[in-house]
Amino acid sequence: MRFFIHSHPGHARTDEFAARLAGLITDAGAEVVDTAAGSDMVVSVGGDGTMLAAAHIALEADVPVVGFNLGTMGFLAHAEPEDAGSTVRRLIDGAYTIEERM
């Protein structure tokens, strides 16, 4: 499985988590790619604004999007950073459902 990670650049917390997430993905045998067009899923790392931008990217690439909430509200991004390992494993295993929202 190929993942494109979209994060808000320049924020230390999101940059650190995106790097950690990339490591978890590759350690689990999947791949992190440089563009959404070459991915199977877009992963958003940040708050709701970042999730909205990632949703737009995913829509254009015709792939699903999942969001890790590193913001304050988290209305749109439901995955939590402390669950990253198990979330990555479930995504790779296909143990998720897709909710059509757009």
Give catalytic residues, as residue numbers: 48
Q: Could you tell me how far CA 44 lies from the centroid of its own chain?
A: 4
- Distance set, CA 3 to CA 6, 22, 52, 84 (Å): 10, 9, 17, 14
**E strands in 1-102:** 2-7, 31-33, 41-46, 65-69
